[in-house]
Amino acid sequence: MHQVKFDPSTLRALTSRTVIITGGAGGIGAATAKVFNEHGANVVIADIPIFEEKANKIIDSLPYPSKALFVPVDILDWEQMTTLFKRTIQIFGALHVVIANAGIMESAEVLDLDDVDGDGNLRESEEAFKVIDVNLKGTLNTSTSGYFGGTGVSAYVSSKHGMIGLLRGSQKAARKYGVSVKAIAPFFTPTRITAGFADKWKEAGLEGNTPEMVGTAIAQSAMSHTESGSCILESS
């Protein structure tokens, strides 16, 4: 596993930069917003509308709340995403970093052959399709589930493996337009969507990350001008 080493000099480059963070109203997204903001960056927290109050509380708690705002957005809606980018540039004058952090996980086992209807027919997993849509279409960020598949959440693991391919497949266009595209794959990090596994992980005596640790790794990677196309496995 590759561990990102903290380099304060890299983070100083965040001053006056502008970043969009999808899924920014909680967990790793919120922690990343704080890291960027406390180093002087303009932060746009993009999340679904129901998290507006939560996002505004996060903004109020930031060191520089005047340099942050919330934009409600559905990452599967192309028009809303286009508006998100345009609004960011209109307000802050430029956009330097985009962190595709938003993601979801299924709440029930997808490959459950006992999940049948009244006629004994296997039910289609609509929830699994939503997970793949959000995680694969909506974000280029990834997690350790892109490498390992032992958690039992089949749709989530599949979507993360797909994002490794998306990361690699984007490099030709990225080079053409002078854009660096990379990913951080966090080791187990307790957040809202991993709450069901957190206690068992802790009881087993296993180490994990904190959202703040991952946020720092994301910020440092965003300021690095190398490693485009790589997915860094962030361990505790």
Active site amino acids: 156
| 84 in Cβ contact with 44 (< 8 Å) | yes
Strand-strand pairing, 42-47 and 18-22: parallel
Distance CA 66, CA 71 (A): 14
Q: Say if CB 51 and CB 29 are below 8 A apart.
A: no
How many residues does this entry show for the chain?
236
**Angle value at C-alpha 104, between 233 and 134, nearest 5 degrees:** 95
Instruction: Identify residue 148 by its one-letter amino acid code.
Output: F
Which structure tokens are listed for 178?
Answer: 């002078």
Question: Do residues 179 and 202 touch, judged by C-beta distance below 8 A?
Answer: no
Q: What whole-number distance in Å separates Cα of residue 142 and Cα of residue 147?
A: 10
Q: Coil, strand, or helix at residue 225?
A: coil
